[in-house]
Amino acid sequence: MTDPLNKPILILAGPTAVGKTDVSLLLGQKLCAEIVSADSMQIYRGMDIGTAKPTPEERRLVYHHMIDIVEPNQPYSVGDYLRDARTAIGGIIATGGMPLVVGGTGLYIRALMRGLFHGPPADIELRERLLQREAETEPGVLYADLVKVDPEAAIKIHPNDLRRTIRALEVYYLRDRKLSAFQRDHAFQDKQYRFRLLFLVRSRGELYPRIEKRVDRMLDQGLEAEVKTLFDRGYGPELISMQGLGYKHFLAHFLGRTSREEAVALLKRDTKRYAKRQFTWFRREPDATWVDITGLERTEDILERIKKYVEISKKLV
C-alpha cells in the first residue's frame, strides 16, 4: 500500500464569495472526488443560507464530508475538526476514492496541513497577572512585551489579539522558551498526509461587489427567517455559532439593537472585512499558491486557470 504522505491532497481555499463552491463541484465531478469541507460554520445543522452551504442538489453531484455534523449549541474545536476530517480523508482513501478539501477557514486548513501544537497547560494566576498589567498600563503593552521576547511569534499575531498574545507570553514565562521555538521543534510533524494548497483570489474591485450580491441573494433566499427560526429555538448570541456572519447581525436586529437596514449594511461591511482577514491569514501560509482568477466568471475558465498551477489528474492522490 502506498504511503499516504506521498499522496498530495488538493486544498482549494479562498476568501468568501470568490467562487470556490462552483469550481470545486466541477473539479470534484471531473476527478470523481469527495469533498471534505474546511468551513467552521458549515459544520452546524440548520445554518444553511448564511453559511452558503452547498445545496442538497449540489451534494448529490459530489459527496461532501464535514457538513451538518453538530447542533449550533454544541462546542466544536479545531482539534475536533482535525480528528473528524482526518477520519473522513482516511475513509475516502481506504475505499480508493479521492479527497478534495475545500473551504476558507484558515485555522482548519493549517491544522490539516501541519497538525496541532500542544504547549504547556494554562496558568490562571499568570494570565490574571498579565491581564492586570494590560489594564493598569496603556493598551498594547503585552504585545510590546511579546515583540521583545519573541518577535517571530509576534509577527503571526495581530496586535489587538490579546488572547493569543497572552498565550505566547504564557508559554515563554512558564517554559523560559519562545513559542516560536516550540513550534519549530514540533515542526508540526503530526502529519498523516501531504497537501497542495491553492488560494483563489480576485481583485478587491471585483470581490467586494460579489460579496454584496451574495448577501442580497442570501436575503432573497430567506436568511432573516433562518436566523429567526434558530433564535426561536433558543439559540442566542452567547453561542459561538450564532456569532457567524449574518446570524449575529439579525440577532442584533431581533433584540432591538439595530434596524433591519442597519443589520444588512453591517453584514455587507463585516463580510468584506472577513474577506480581508482571510487574505491576511493566507499571506502567512508559506505553502499557499495564490491563483488570481480576476476577470473569470465561467467555472470552466477558472478550472483551466487552476490547471496551470497543479496537475488535475489521478496523480493528486
Residues 60-112: tens digit of each pLDDT: 999 999 999 999 999 999 999 999 999 999 999 999 999 999 999 999 999 99
**If you search the block for the grid coordinates 475513509, which residue do you land on?**
91
φ/ψ (deg, to 5) at 123: -120, 105
Please give the radius of gyration of the chain, using alpha carbons only, rounded to the nearest integer: 21
Q: Enumerate domains of the chain plus CATH numbers.
A: 4-116+189-316 (3.40.50.300), 124-186 (1.10.20.140)
Residues 25-74: tens digit of each pLDDT: 999 999 999 999 999 999 999 999 999 999 999 999 999 999 999 999 99
Distance CA(168)–CA(301), nearest Å, equals 44
pLDDT of residue 314: 44
Q: At 33, which helix (H) or strand (E)?
A: strand 33-37
- Angle of helix 247-254 relative to helix 223-232, nearest 10 degrees, comes to 70
pLDDT of residue 173: 85
- Model confidence at 115, pLDDT cuts 50, 70, 90, reads confident
State mean pLDDT over 104-124.
Answer: 84
Distance CA(66)–CA(150), nearest Å, equals 36
State mean pLDDT over 153-162.
Answer: 85
Residues 164-205: tens digit of each pLDDT: 899 888 888 887 777 666 655 554 455 678 999 999 999 999
Distance CA(66)–CA(84), nearest Å, equals 8
